[in-house]
Amino acid sequence: MSIRHSATHLTRSLATRSPRPAAGLLGTNGFQKSCMATVTPPVTQNEVGKQGPTAMVFMNMGGPSTTDEVGDFLSRLFADGDLIPLGPLQSYLGPLISRRRTPKIQKQYAAIGGGSPIRKWSEHQCEEMCKLLDEMSPETAPHKPYVAFRYANPLTEHMYEQLLKDGFGKGRGGRAVAFTQYPQYSCSTTGSSLNELWKWRNRLEGKRATGETNPDGAITWSVIDRWPTHPGLVEAFAQNIEAKLAEYPEERRKDVVILFSAHSLPMSVVNRGDPYPSEVAATVHAVMHRLGHSQPYRLCWQSQVGPSAWLGAQTSDTVKQYVARGHTDLILVPIAFTSDHIETLYELDLEVIEEDAKGHPGVKRAESLNGSPAFIKALADIAHAHLKSGESSSRQMHLRCQGCNSERCLEQKKFFAGEQAKILPTVK
Ligand code: FES
């Protein structure tokens, strides 16, 4: 969800070893169907030579699949102090802002087809990744796809309840991997999703979650917390850029400017020490390296709102300024999103390209990663390496921001670091 479009925006699934219930879990209305499914036997992970099943949980912000879901989506979004810090008035201001913004945001979702495609793409990507993982890592198979969104269905708590119904946890153990779908880490995004996951684990697995009873009976969690320069991710972005470049006449191609666009952050978050800006820049550099630095390029930031200072330069301003200077061959590349949603389909396509660039034919957008085979293979490679590593997370995740004074961050990071003792390398 665009901070621009929700915050005034920031002020806006087994346990059986045979057939994967992916379609039941994740298809259209699949989550509801799976909730009514016959209870499956508990997972057993002590069979010689087998360490599966493994739950693979894609975490993302999510978006309303229909305009009717916009109100609830905004309400959850504005209640999240990790994403939109409104201070002690959060519980008052959050509902107020979300109610006021709902009609306008509903119109924007209506303009992109009536809802966000992020659930469809997340479910597709996770299912396809799990199929590849079953072949690459039979020791940890079957890999079961689940999606957990922070602000839209399927919510984190619903994903967790489904895990428990599917035979994980509650004294039965099991392994789950929380795989962030934000390639670059921010405490506002991946950090918020991990805080939410930690909260629901404590609520739904009770004292097992704190180790006060049998700690082996709870789900063992590990985290893929960032992957900004993974070669597969870089390759997927580069392929989409090359495909778009090929649309320009050959004589103009070398002068086409690449404008990488990422969701902005308030400078208060940047100055707290959030790692996101440097990780986004790392992705940009890696993609340009892969392209042989064939084009001029800039990184700009979208979706900023409100009177406070945000990380810039803004994408909309950048396009206006470059077009005014005669740079009318521009390719916008959404570099921090893994699928289409309102920031690409509405903000970039309708606002920036149609309005700011006045629909100039030389101003285009690279396709989002969506169903890219290179991207789905990258996801499987990242997950496979994680399962092989025996690490509960990256080393980077346990270092808090310089200016962080959040108890929630402290406890969440302690929890995931503590899972390390329960994880053994699996595939060699
Ligand atoms: Fe970054 Fe807490 S805000 S670790």
386-415 confidence digits (pLDDT tens): 999 999 999 999 999 999 999 999 999 999
- Per-residue pLDDT reduced to its tens digit, 197-253: 999 999 998 765 555 545 568 999 999 999 999 999 999 999 999 999 999 999 999
Can you tell me the mean pLDDT for 36-50? Answer: 46
Task: Compute, in angstroms, the gap from residue 405 CA to the centroid of ligand 1.
Answer: 7
pLDDT given for residue 279 in this prediction: 98
419, 413, 411: which is closest to 390 by C-alpha?
Answer: 419
* 79-133 tens-digit pLDDT: 888 888 778 888 888 888 899 999 999 999 999 999 999 999 999 999 999 999 9
Q: Is 422 in the pocket of ligand 1 (CB under 6 A)?
A: no
* Ligand 1 near 281 CB (within 6 A): no
Query: For residue 50, what is the DSSP state?
Result: -
Task: Report pLDDT digits (tens) over 344-356.
Answer: 888 888 888 988 8
Check residue 425 and give its pLDDT: 63
CA 94 to chain centre: 23
- Encode pLDDT of 284-342 as tens digits: 999 999 999 999 999 999 988 667 799 999 999 999 999 999 999 999 999 999 999 88
- Whether ligand 1 lies within 6 angstroms of the CB of 195 is answered as no
* pLDDT for the residue numbered 215: 58
> Is residue 46's pLDDT more than 70?
no
Q: Please list the residues that pair with 302 across neighbouring strands.
A: 263
427 lines ligand 1 (CB under 6 A): no
- Do the Cβ atoms of 62 and 119 come closer than 8 Å? yes
Give 250-254's long-range contacts (Cβ < 8 A, gap of 24+).
252/329, 252/362, 254/294, 254/295
> Is the CB–ligand 1 distance for residue 357 below 6 Å?
no
**Residue 381 is a catalytic residue:** yes
Q: Give Cα separations from 380 to 232, 370, 385 (angstroms).
A: 10, 15, 9
Strands (E), 120-272: 143-149, 175-180, 220-224, 257-263
Protein residue with least CA distance to atom 4, ligand 1: 400
Cα(166) to centroid of ligand 1, in Å? 33
Q: Compute the distance from residue 269 Cα to the ligand 1 centre, in Å.
A: 9
Decide: 333 in ligand 1 pocket, CB within 6 A. no
pLDDT at residue 16 greater than cutoff 90: no
- Choice among 82, 166, 356, 381 that is catalytic: 381
Confidence of residue 32 (pLDDT cuts 50, 70, 90): very low
> What distance in Å separates the CA atoms of residue 280 and residue 169, rounded to the nearest whole number?
35
How many angstroms does the Cα of residue 409 sit away from the middle of ligand 1?
Answer: 6
Q: Which of 81-85, 186-190, 206-210, 274-278 has the lowest mean pLDDT?
A: 206-210
Residue showing tokens 């930031």: 301
HSE, side-chain direction, 13 A CA sphere, residue 91: 1
Instruction: Assign 3-state DSSP to the chain and report helix, strand, coil percentages, each to 5.
Output: 50, 10, 40
SS3 331: strand
The one catalytic residue in 124, 143, 230, 327 is: 230
- Give residue 35's pLDDT: 36
What does the pLDDT read at residue 82? Answer: 81
Averaged over 35-50, what is the pLDDT? Answer: 45
Mean pLDDT of the chain: 86
β pairing state of 54-60 and 143-149: parallel
Q: From the CA of 366, how far away is ligand 1's center (Å)?
A: 32
Sheet holding 257-263, edge to edge: 297-302, 257-263, 330-334, 363-365
pLDDT at 156: 97
Please report the domains of the chain, with CATH numbers, ordered by start residue. Answer: 54-227+375-417 (3.40.50.1400), 231-365 (3.40.50.1400)
